[in-house]
Amino acid sequence: MEEQANRNDYGVIRIADEVVGVIAGLAATEVKGIAGMSGGLAGGISDILGRKNLSKGVKVEVGEREAAVDLFVVVEYGVRVPEVAWKVQENVKRAIESMTGLTVVEVNVHVQGVHLPQQTKEEEVRVH
């Protein structure tokens, strides 16, 4: 596990890549229009991961003072994807920079799928 380290007068502060990944995942899922994080495409099917696996849909590269983030997300049906992605970029950058002190140089958003609204029970009954 990679760690980002800062030395100050009191000692060294180390931030694990996974910590930055969890911060990024939480910040991304806070944005309206994001259905969840995606574990990637396996056989053409994307899996929406729950809150316990937020860092699984995130890839981070952390240097001494900078970080780059790749997010793999699933969006809600009907949203304007570019607007949602831009809001995700802003929210993730702000969260990581304020919580870790790192400078975020990139936030790449990879839209892996669209979450369709579920049918109501009444619609299901009419179909059958």
Q: Report pLDDT digits (tens) over 99-119.
A: 999 999 999 999 999 999 874
Is pLDDT above 50 for 42? no
Amino acid identity at 46: S
| Residues 6 or more apart whose Cβ sits within 8 Å of residue 68 | 60, 61, 104, 105, 106, 107, 108
pLDDT level of residue 124 (50, 70, 90 thresholds) = very low
Backbone angles phi, psi at 42, to 5 degrees: -120, 110
State the pLDDT at residue 43. Answer: 37
State the pLDDT at residue 73. Answer: 94
Q: Full-prediction pTM beyond 0.95?
A: no
Q: How far apart are CA 51 and CA 115, in angstroms?
A: 16
Q: How far is C-alpha 124 from the geometric centre of its chain's CA atoms?
A: 33
Amino acid identity at 114: V
**Helix runs in the chain, H state only:** 17-29, 81-100, 121-127
Q: What number does CATH give the domain 3-127?
A: 3.30.70.1350
State the pLDDT at residue 6. Answer: 64
State the pLDDT at residue 14. Answer: 78
Across all residues in the chain, what is the average pLDDT?
Answer: 82
Angle at 68 (CA atoms; ends 11, 96), nearest 5 degrees: 60
